[in-house]
A and B are shown apart, each in its own frame.
Chain A
Amino acid sequence: MGDKSTKEILESVLDEKRKEGNSLYNPKALEVIQQSFEKWKNTVVSEKDRENWEMTPHTIIGSSIPRGLIYTPLDIADLDYEVDLGYSEGEPYTRGIHSNMYRGQTWTQRQLSGAGSPEYVNNRIKFLLDHGATGTNLALDLATVQMFDSDEPEADGMVATVGVPIDCVQDFESIYKDIPIDKVSSSIVTHYPRNTSIIFPMYLVMAEKRGYGWDKLPGSVQNDFIMENVVRSACEWIPPKDDFRVQCDNIEFLRNEVPKWNYVTLNGYNLREEGTSGVTEMAVALANGIAIMDDMLRRGYDPDWTAKRMAFFWAPANDFFEEVARIRAARRLWYRIMKHKYQAKDPRSCWMRCHVQTSGISLQRVEPFVNIVRAAYHALAAILGGAQSLHVDGYDEAYSVPGEESSLLGLRTQQLINAETQVTQVVDPLGGSFYVEALTDDIERRILDEIDEVEKLGGLPEAVAKGWLHHKVISYLLEEERMIEDGRIKVVARNYFRDPNVKEPPVVTQPYDSKIRDQMVDKLKKWRKERDNDKVKGCLEDIVRAGKEGKNITYYTVEAARAGATEGEMRRAFTESFGTWRPPVYA
């Protein structure tokens, strides 16, 4: 490996392979096509179309990648079938990670479980499972995401908004009551490393109390430091390097102790939704994957052991073919990185497995029912790209957290794609399209170039600390807003054929129920009274010490969760241990 960059390593390997001369099109055929193409272009195509041959589509969170008028073998002249495409469940995995893809097993239909008290969310999970959902997807409320207990002053008005509140182990007991957590996989959206290190141990303690061995538990957490340091608005942050370290502590802990659990879901989604292109979304997530592999190597772990449980999370948006090509490109690129940079031997470690959620920022407040159609296209692109797991957004995203009706409609959209459209019967149905292959190549190149940019800045934690990503996001979102205003980005019903007399249709939203906070506070008081407070204090001190001494902090948060420590108490221990940090961009 030496000092070579990821880009240099991949380029030298691929140059060697291409020298073998197995490109799909023979030079003679390409010559003939070149001639006929020129003739057609100059005689049939109008001068105006020739002049505007290349157009650049601008869309919300799009990548603005130029497109030609038509694609031919000339655009993929050096395509080598074995090197670039292969077969599903075969290197380089461009076409998918399972040989029979959706014929073998449908993707996991995982709808977020809504907002409300632990008991309410338990009912919503059961409702979704009863209607055919095949996994659970737990959204946390704002107080829990920001690691505040329900009784802290900051939590006023924020308990049980956008998700479920969790203060301590008893809340997990309520949420997963009667749910067979060894059979139904749980996605627990603990966004960033500190949040994961504090909340996930409470899930594990709940599981052991119910008699489940940790080695039996399937599921995933998010655990992505970009979520703490770049995406999340907050009152308080810890430094990116420390947060990255906690991310890797979680990985080491989970890989050793909860082997079936996906320890990280590299979250392109929220970064992209904050404001960035599909290319940057993937480049940052893959660069984080690289940083993780390097850190785990440094800790003495074999790349194959580490990589097996890596998962990714993407946001399919409006530019349909870009979305399909992007997922294929990231799958091939991750394989190439794992194979050629880390010499992975186990095929599974080279798989870019992904959950996708249709883009929320692409949905509009005006004429919200149009969002049903938008989300269906987003979802279709994800399935044509070969995703493993899907959440379809509610049409009412721009009004509130999805209600039961729109949540069910999201699930129905998934079922429709799966059972009615028949797109699932053929593996990688768009593979081989001149256009899709050319776009896949183009996007892979662009992602690799951005990874190279990150590596030149000293790797992802360093690039984030320097503010590279913050600046990129801010300038992207401001430019996007300008393009919506001047009409370069067309948004149906908002700036394109806007109805001047449009009225808001009745959208059923969930009113805020302040009683939930009162109930949580009562439960919390009782909980604090009944636990061994000296023991909790000792465990919290251990967390502070483990952080300072560079020990794996998550072993200590598990002990604290067992002793009954609350989320807010552990947050304060982390802050005491690592100190605070302020993002380099503040508008």
Chain B
Amino acid sequence: MSSDREKIRVLLAQFPLESHSRGAFTVANMLRDSGMEVVYIGNSLPEQIVSSAVQENVDVVGISTLCGGELALGEKVMKLALEKGIKDSAVFVMGGIFPPEDEPKLKEMGFEALFTPGATREDIANTINDCIGKKRGAKV
């Protein structure tokens, strides 16, 4: 993550077999409206998500999930992120539909923010900004 860059760069993806894209499209647009740069890679394996995040040098990795897989695949993403050295530099967030009891587990894994249906543009942008602020602060 480059902290001197003006625009926040966000990678948006879904797990390989996710069939919904409405949420990802909506959030991509919200983030662009809030002045962020969005790289949308669509349906991807955890390996592809992490390698794209490295390649695109993003500040944030966002995953949209509605049909399950958040625990199994979320864990894989975080494991790979650790291996590739971006777990501590990039902010990982997830949005979509998942059971409330999965939320603490996802947080534990390292997903710093979780967005559920009804989250507003303001919620999402502010939360991401806060998370980035905390990360950058921690590094100084």
Which residues of A does B touch, CB under 8 Å? 142-143, 145-146, 148, 153-158, 161-162, 232-235, 273-275, 361, 364-366, 398-400, 474, 477-478, 481, 485, 494, 504, 507, 509-512, 514, 586-587
Chain B residues with CB under 8 Å of A157's CB are 15, 68-73, 76
Interface residues of B in 20-70 (CB under 8 A from A): 20-22, 24-26, 28-30, 38, 40, 42-45, 67-70
Provide the residues of chain B in CB contact with A145, threshold 8 Å: 17, 19
* Chain A residues closer than 8 Å to B29, beta-carbon distance: 478, 481, 587
Knowing A145-B19, A366-B118, A481-B29, say if A235 contacts B43 (CB, 8 Å). yes
**Top 3 A-B pairs, shortest CB-CB distance:** A161-B68, A157-B72, A509-B99
CB pair B21 A274 closer than 8 Å: yes
Known contacts A146-B17, A158-B15: does B99 contact A481 (CB below 8 Å)? Answer: no
The closest CB in chain B to the CB of A507 belongs to: B100
Would you call B30 and A481 a contact (CB within 8 A)?
yes
A275-B22 in contact (CB<8A): yes
Given contacts A142-B67, A494-B118, contact A399 B97 (CB under 8 A): yes
Task: Mark interface residues in B74-112 (1 if CB within 8 Å of A CB, else 0).
Answer: 001000000000000000000001111100000000000
New A-B pairs, 9, CB < 8 Å, besides A161-B69, A274-B20, A509-B99: A142-B68, A155-B17, A158-B68, A233-B14, A233-B20, A398-B117, A512-B68, A586-B42, A587-B29
Task: Tell me the smallest distance from the CB of B18 to a CB of chain A, in Å.
Answer: 6
Most chain A CB within a 10 A radius of its CB, from B15, B67, B72: B67
Tell me the complex Cα distance, A364–B116, Å. Answer: 10
A93 CA to B17 CA, complexed, in Å: 41
| Number of B residues, CB within 8 Å of A | 40
Give which listed residue, A233, A234, A399, contacts B99 with CB less than 8 A.
Answer: A399
For residue A357, give the distance in angstroms from its CB to the closest CB of chain B.
16
Which residues of chain B have C-beta atoms less than 8 A from A143's C-beta?
A: 17
Q: What residue in chain B is nearest A510 (Cβ atoms)?
A: B99
**How far is A79 from B38 in the complex, measured between Cα atoms in Å?**
53
Which residues of B line the A interface, CB within 8 A?
12, 14-22, 24-26, 28-30, 38, 40, 42-45, 67-73, 76, 97-101, 116-118, 120-121
> Which of the residues A148, A232, A365 comes within 8 Å of B118, measured between beta carbons?
A365
CB distance from A65 to the nearest CB of B (A): 23
Most B CB contacts (10 A, CB to CB) among A153, A162, A233, A400 go to A233
User: Smallest CB–CB gap between B65 and chain A, Å?
Assistant: 10
Interchain nearest-CB distance for A516 vs B (Å): 11
Complex-state Cα separation, A366 to B100, whole angstroms: 12
Q: How far is the CA of A156 from the CA of B16 in the complex (A)?
A: 9
Bound CA–CA A526/B120 (angstroms) = 49
Measured CA separation A586–B28 after assembly (Å): 11
Question: Do B100 and A233 have beta carbons less than 8 Å apart?
Answer: no
Q: Is the CB of B121 within 8 A of A233?
A: no
A514, B30: Cα distance in complex, Å: 34
Q: With a CB–CB cut-off of 8 A, which chain A residues contact B69?
A: 142, 156-158, 161, 512
Closest residue of chain A to B73 (Cβ to Cβ) is A157
Question: Is B22 touching A365 in the complex (CB atoms < 8 A)?
Answer: no
B19 & A474 in contact (Cβ 8 Å cutoff): no
Question: How far does the alpha carbon of A504 sit from the alpha carbon of B16 in the complex, in Å?
Answer: 30
Given A142-B17, A234-B43, A399-B100, residue A474 in contact with residue B25 (CB < 8 A): yes
Which residue of chain A has its CB nearest to the CB of B120?
A485
Is B97 a contact partner of A234 (Cβ separation < 8 A)? Answer: no
The interface residues of chain B lying within 8 Å CB-to-CB of A478 are 25-26, 29
Instruction: Report if A233-B42 is in contact (Cβ < 8 Å); known contacts: A477-B22, A509-B101.
Output: yes
In whole angstroms, what is the CA distance A480 to B69 when docked? 28
Whole-angstrom distance from the CB of A236 to the nearest CB of chain B?
9
Distance to closest chain B CB from A313 (angstroms): 16
Tell me whether A365 and B117 are in contact in the complex, defined as CB-CB below 8 angstroms, given that A158-B15, A158-B17 are known contacts. yes
Residues from chain A with a CB closer than 8 A to the CB of B100 are: 399, 504, 507, 509
